[in-house]
Structure 1
């Protein structure tokens, strides 16, 4: 695995639910759902969507921290991280969510320190907030707040682990994908080499099957190997 870099999504992948959606359901004006529909339909990108939605949130810092402290993660994720790093892979959490929330949630679990590449939350009043996008790109095809394609190194093969729309663009340039939810459907529709999973408990076995000697970072798996993985 020394030749592989893992780009791992957070919301809906490491966590069972979406952290920002839960914040909006608890603390935002209900009109956030209309903005979400505009993003899902493709009328706006996630950067615009998140900016509009987070401006609707009214919550004191203690309320947000209490919520972050209630969020659970896949219980098998820490063991997967230890295994992947032990095999020599590098790994980063790359999310279109909130860096402060991700760091707070992961800090409650016994995990090696991992780079977190995500959006930031800034307080603008006692109970009002805005989101900032340190990893955005005007060239991002998906108009994302965090352009996940920019997080991939040039000198390693890339394994993407994710579940949804924010992972689709980077999955298209990855060497392999571990996918669930809408991302798995996207990979299947577009012929992207992937393995479907529901829990990190399944991933140690999939890592063992992952090819370790692709000729170059852009080469796809042979068709018969793709079929094997598609049906794992």
Structure 2
């Protein structure tokens, strides 16, 4: 039986060339942020705990300054507009599943025609003295990783008997989802982990590479 291709695409370090959370906290948080970043990447603390602690180091009145900084700093990965068009033309369902934060994701994505593409990310609250991250898409009963924005919870909503589930990502925040997906399109740390765990995967540098992989996958699963 043929399956429907569905894509779960990361944002930071995938749609953008750099991890925007790391860029923001290194610019606006005090030096102790480096210890937290290292603890997140080495899985010594959960992503939810680490990201929450990182943004709690930054005053809320920096909101507009952070947005302006990230609009100037972030670079969208080559081929992303073509990827959007390819998915639309081929009728491929895809979602943006990001451990990033709404207040900087939405301005970065605003220039693109993403009508009908769901965006799952973390929220933000600037009502207090320090930035507070909110978690509208936290882990379900099947996950205890403290993901913050739980990608496996989103992926599990798609029946593997009917869907061929593909994770596109780059980092530790994508690893749990990659482990339960049918296929992984990876770069950086996620590519390294996928190889170590012998997960079915391809690597990418640009979204042109992603399109090439998807063309082949679509033929295989249709």
Query: What TM-score results when the alignment is normalised by the length of structure 1?
Result: 0.85
Determine if the alignment matches structure 1 residue 161 to structure 2 residue 188: no
1:13-24 map, 5 Å:
13-24=14-25
Retained in 2: the 8 A contact 1:95–1:146? Answer: yes
Q: Tell me, what secondary structure is at the counterpart of 1:137?
A: coil
Instruction: Quote the residue 2:44 is aligned against.
Output: 43
User: Aligned pair in 2 of structure 1 residues 37, 203: CA closer, same or farther (>3 Å)?
Assistant: closer
In the aligned structure 2, how far is the partner of 1:80 from the partner of 1:112?
14
Give the RMSD, CA atoms, in angstroms. Answer: 2.0
Unaligned runs of 5+ in 2: none
Structure showing greater relative contact order (alpha-carbon pairs closer than 8 Å, 6 or more residues apart): 2
Instruction: Quote the residue 2:180 is aligned against.
Output: 173
* Higher mean C-alpha displacement, 112-121 vs 86-95: 112-121
In the aligned structure 2, how far is the partner of 1:138 from the partner of 1:31?
31
Unaligned runs of 5+ in 1: 216-232
Instruction: Quote the residue 1:204 is aligned against.
Output: 211
Determine if the alignment matches structure 1 residue 195 to structure 2 residue 202: yes
Instruction: Quote the residue 2:65 is aligned against.
Output: 63
Number of equivalent positions: 214
Query: What TM-score results when the alignment is normalised by the length of structure 2?
Result: 0.89
Instruction: Quote the residue 1:31 is aligned against.
Output: 32
Instruction: Quote the residue 2:90 is aligned against.
Output: 87
* Higher mean C-alpha displacement, 137-146 vs 157-166: 137-146
CA displacement at 1:213 relative to structure 2:
5.0
Which among 104, 107, 111 is matched to residue 107 of structure 2? 104
CA displacement at 1:169 relative to structure 2:
0.7
